Amino acid sequence: MRLLVSVRDAAEAALARDHGADLIDGKDPGRGALGALSADAVRAIAAAAGDRPTSAVAGEPRDADEASACLAALAGTGVHYLKIAWAPGRDAASLRLPAAPSVIAVLFAEDGPDGADVPALAAAGFSGAMIDTRTKDGRRLTDHLPLARLAGFARACRAHGLLSGLAGSLALDDIPVLAALGPGYLGFRGGLCAAADRTGRLDPQRIAEAAQRLGAVAPCIEAA
């Protein structure tokens, strides 16, 4: 069970690294849920992350051809993973995944994804899958999807060998509830910013608290 922290630049990447982030994720919070940064900005984040795994969002493409182009634009930036928005049921016949890095499909909670979507993602060549929220209006992930559906998604990812993650305007108090469902990562941005403003700057104390809370629940879950 690990902590994903989304950052907008190299300075935030260093802050996240130093205060407990397990995976440092580059995105532009001013451009929606999955706003992509420039290739140069992503390279700088990857360098600032040091020995921490990194990812970067590649946008919200309209179809598989556009997704392939978005992924290709960031494929040589040095991150370990790329994340791309992917609608449940979208045809992946023309999707061209890069040889490296690995690619994570991001499904939006508003589209009602569940574990039944996972086999097609594995067949298309994705290395992992996450659920996030498209609309950042104060509603959290669990306002859109019940816990049972989220648990089924995480369980299906494990069964198909995919990395899994849950995100979407999460608050620190969501950690014990969602960690119990068994995702590989919990993803944060707004909940770790001052005044919970995802377009503001990250708060190092909130990052450290999230890491501490996640570290506290993980041994309990493993024991159970």
Of 52, 83, 90, 206, which is the active-site residue?
83
Contact status, residue 171 vs residue 190, Cβ threshold 8 Å: no
| Structural domain that includes position 169 | 2-223
CA 200, CA 196: separation in Å to the nearest integer?
Answer: 8
pLDDT for position 220: 57
Of 2, 17, 19, 27, which is the active-site residue?
27
Kindly report whether the peptide bond that precedes residue 176 is cis, defined as omega within 30 degrees of 0: no
CA 208, CA 224: separation in Å to the nearest integer?
Answer: 25
Kindly report whether the peptide bond that precedes residue 101 is cis, defined as omega within 30 degrees of 0: yes
Is pLDDT above 80 for 219?
A: no
Is pLDDT above 60 for 7?
A: yes
Q: How many domains does the chain have?
A: 1
* pTM given for the model: 0.95
Q: Is 136 tagged catalytic?
A: no
Question: Which tokens is 155 given?
Answer: 């369980």
- The larger pLDDT score, comparing residue 138 to residue 112, is at 112
We report the CATH number of the domain holding residue 12 as 3.20.20.70
Q: 117 burial class (0-12, 13-18, 19+ CB within 10 angstroms)?
A: buried
